[in-house]
Amino acid sequence: MAIERTFSIIKPDATARNVTGAINAMIEKSGLRIVAQKRIRMTREQAEIFYAVHRERPFFRELVEFMISGPVVVQVLEGDNAIAVYRDLMGATDPAKAADGTIRKVLAKSIGENSVHGSDAADTANKEIAQFFAGNEIIG
């Protein structure tokens, strides 16, 4: 298996409920390593660029407002097959449909406020990491 990096966001609903450590514990238990991490307040422009692929979706405005409503923790996760491993650990977008033991099943509240983001492919992971981290901020 290949060592990969993926981009993660701990979203405002999770920072508000003080469960960033609980999420990091689940990430580390899965075998992934947190090789970069910072707590930031996303700007509207950053959120609109980050979710540009969803611009035409009916929930786009709500999504951007949510992502700038409080602090987030942006992260780079590294490990074997990191992109797929983290998607599995996150669970389905809608927490009600997420598998037992996943972050969204255990901690998330709704399809919009679903606690975490994880890249869906290698090209998006690279792009998302580059939006928030300089190369020298990622220490593997």
Residue ranges that bind ligand GDP, judged by CB under 6 A: 59, 62-63, 93, 111-112, 114, 117, 120
Cα separation, 54 vs 88, in Å, equals 22
Task: Count helices and strands (H / E) in the chain.
Answer: 7, 4
The one-character DSSP state at 55 is T
Q: 105, 98 in Cβ contact below 8 A?
A: yes
- E runs forming strands in 55-132: 72-80, 116-118
The least CB distance from residue 124 to ligand GDP, in Å, is: 10
Q: Which residue among the candidates 27, 48, 117, 119 is catalytic per the annotation?
A: 117
Half-sphere exposure (Cβ direction) of 68: Cα atoms closer than 13 Å = 15
The least CB distance from residue 137 to ligand GDP, in Å, is: 23
The least CB distance from residue 118 to ligand GDP, in Å, is: 7
CB closer to ligand GDP, 101 vs 137: 101
CB closer to ligand GDP, 43 vs 93: 93
Catalytic, 54? Answer no
CB closer to ligand GDP, 31 vs 59: 59
Residues with a catalytic annotation lie at 117
